[in-house]
Chains A and B, each alone.
Chain A
Amino acid sequence: MAEQMTGAQMVIQALVDQAVEHVFGYPGGAVLPIYDELFQQDKLRHILVRHEQGAVHAAEGYARSTGKVGCVLVTSGPGATNAVTGLTDALMDSTPLVCITGQVPTHLIGNDAFQECDTVGITRPCTKHNYLVKNVDDLARVLHEAFYVAANGRPGPVVVDIPKDVQFAKGFYSGPRNVQHKTYRPKLKGDLEKIKAAVALMAGAKRPVIYSGGGVVNSGSEASHLLRELVKLTGFPITSTLMGLGAFPAANPQWLGMLGMHGTYEANMAMHDCDVMVCIGARFDDRITGRVDAFSPGSKRVHVDIDASSINKNVKVDIGIVGDCGHVLEDMIRLWRASSVETDKPALAAWWQQIDKWRGRKSLAYRNSSEVIKPQYAIERLYALTRDRDVYITTEVGQHQMWAAQFFKFEEPHRWMTSGGLGTMGYGLPAAVGVQLAHPNALVIDIAGEASVLMTMQEMSTAVQYRLPIKIFIINNQYMGMVRQWQELLHGGRYSESYSEALPDFVKLAEAYHCVGIRCAKPDELDAAIRKMLAVDRPVIFDCVVDPTENCFPMIPAGRAHNEMLLGDAAQDLEAAITEEGKVMV
């Protein structure tokens, strides 16, 4: 039954009907009617952030750790423009969000009114879709459509811009069941003939590799199960992008580790030398492919993606399958079983032997120190000491992010929240706020850099206000480490503006925010300090003072091929690795 209510009431009703529990937002003049309605109800919980960018990242953390649509509410003008970074981040990483923005009243639109901006114009290229609602009778439909568009197909952020007079106006509300989008029907099932061809190609492979990505995580936990089943069934090695970590368990022997610019030697070499590549829910990003014309020169490629525009965008593939990863994996497994495939066992055994040789180089090895904490060691210890806990990790962007991806091992999807596509410094802290709200009893750690975390540090207030015991584990090397690393390797060691001058005292900063500050600078004190952090049931800022000059290896320099990796000086020499592994193999 349609009932009459104000636009502001419709917003609340629509969010409740869409099963939203938390809204991340910041009030302002153009959303006051909605905030007034929020005040008078108890079904939705509003989380007051300290900056609108934080609201969007928190909603992203919430969405990516639950698989649900994250929800944001901000005001017009600066509220909307501050949200733009978060929206772009969500678009790049295919994170489902609905962001409601206030707008000046319709009669003032275009008049350069106070706190007016062309929100739909500004957010058009950084959202999956956006709406300006000028008539209250369209509002309920648009809000439900927004949730549908955000969550279906390739997920992404949707903005609904609502002028203030529309929030006051009365109209008829209709529930989500009565709303169906006119045209948007993403294709879930893949073309069976193509899947058959893919299975045939895989069956004949001599040097196969499966390369999975965030699409598997986005598809839901069933897709991760199916991916595991396919890997087990085929006996193929598997690697994953940064965004896909956790879809396949890191403890499994078929796991090669992450691939790409800072991926493992074995993952990248397997990609380079394979004869059949099966890409599932990843998009051949430049951080993955390196130099495109030298990318995996001898392989036949299968690409599964729900977004047809991802197929043949960066890299030409032989079989492009448009569909949802879960559905396609299901069909793939069914067809594999039905055709009782006989794989080329001797060839696969030889391929695994080759992979073990590459593994023998131990590309993630680093020289530890008893004097100074190595960042890799810090993350290894953090991982080791949290193994008995229900852990969710967020990160900022830079060296610490790559070390976290290399040294923190994930067994399940939705446990790893990081800004992959856009590379947004300042993502991790607000994302941790969102994750902790969704999982109140879990251990949520933001593995941070001291430069990144200062970009959204004010969200500590949010964490304290809502008693969210997030742990900000700062790998403090006093540099924008990845910038410094590139300057060292590519710009003659001229460290232009990459030193973090005049850093705050993070322990005192924690105290100023009414949370707990811990500092550790000695390797032999690290375990005790981490244990202390884990024992605190309040937000903590952990200042882990590490070696300022450590570089992140392995590394494929930009514009190079997979087999032109730079390895750290602790990695094993290939000849030595062969003989060492040879003993095991033979």
Chain B
Amino acid sequence: MLMKNPATERHTLSVLVDNEPGVLARVIGLFSGRGYNIDSLTVSETEHEKQLSRITIVTTGTPMVIEQIKNQLERLVPVHRVIDVTVGGKSIERELAMVKVRGTGERRVEALRLSDAFRARVIDATTESFVFELTGKSDKIDQFVGLMLPLGLVEVSRTGIVAITRGPEAM
């Protein structure tokens, strides 16, 4: 029996797929067609020889829905494996952001000072702007972006979350 409004949970799924045309469309189509949420999506080829790509999806849902998403992903023909890296809490998640800030004088100095505190790197600079590169957990990036807002934030580009499990084992 369905439970009444059980709490939703946020899970990060790592999906190993054949790097073939349309595979991302299959995964995304599954989410939109069945009404699941995508909070973040990252995809890139990871093993060129075997033509494998890894898709990292962050999604929100009740435990029953999360279980459904995993099963639905697993039955897609080009999907090799689906790992819920959130289960067990033994995963590392990171995101990369590029943050463009425009300003002069004290605001510019303050932006640079904060970037140093966050261990961001300057990857582009003009006399009136910086582009910072920052890696870390999503909330760290959120925090940094929040701090840049009053200092002349122009735009942000983020990769979305990538994740991997701790320890010596592969997924």
Contact = CB atoms under 8 A, between A and B. Distances in A.
Contact of B1 (A128, A153, A182, A316): A316
Interface in B7-29: 18, 21-22, 25-26, 29
A124 B68 contact: no
A264 to B, nearest CB: 23
Contacts of B64: 312, 316
A297 B1 CA distance: 8
A542 interface: no
Interface residue tally on B, bucketed by range: 20 to 34
Nearest to B16: A183
Given A124-B22, A309-B68, A184 B77 contact: yes
Contact of B75 (A182, A307, A315): A307
A312 B1 contact: no
A295 interface: yes
Contact of B29 (A125, A184, A293, A313): A125
B77 A125 contact: no
Contact of A183 (B1, B18, B71): B18
A431 B4 CA distance: 42
A110 interface: no
B2 interface: yes
A382 to B, nearest CB: 40
Contact of A124 (B25, B71, B74): B25
Interface in B25-77: 25-26, 29, 33, 64, 67-68, 71-72, 74-75, 77
Contacts of B67: 312
B22 A309 contact: no
A311 B74 CA distance: 13
A292 interface: yes
A295 B1 contact: yes
Interface in B76-100: 77-80
Nearest to B26: A124
Contact of A313 (B33, B68, B79): B68
B76 to A, nearest CB: 8
Contacts of B1: 292-293, 295, 297, 315-316
B25 A121 contact: yes
B2 A316 contact: yes
B75 A308 contact: yes
A454 interface: no
A309 B33 contact: no
A183 B21 contact: no
A130 B2 CA distance: 34
A146 to B, nearest CB: 10
A149 B77 contact: yes
A309 B72 contact: yes
Contact of A128 (B21, B29, B71, B77): B77
B27 to A, nearest CB: 11
A1 B4 CA distance: 61
A183 B18 CA distance: 9
A247 B72 CA distance: 27
A120 B68 contact: no
Nearest to A128: B77
Given A125-B29, A125-B33, A308 B74 contact: yes
A129 interface: yes
A561 to B, nearest CB: 12
7 contacts: A120-B22, A124-B25, A129-B78, A149-B77, A183-B77, A309-B72, A315-B1
Considering the complex of A and B, which 8 residue pairs feature the smallest CB-CB distances, nearest first? A309-B71, A129-B77, A308-B71, A309-B72, A184-B77, A183-B80, A125-B33, A292-B2
Given A129-B78, A183-B77, 19 more contacts: A120-B22, A124-B22, A124-B26, A125-B33, A128-B77, A149-B77, A153-B75, A181-B77, A182-B18, A292-B1, A293-B2, A297-B1, A308-B74, A309-B74, A309-B75, A312-B64, A312-B67, A315-B2, A316-B2
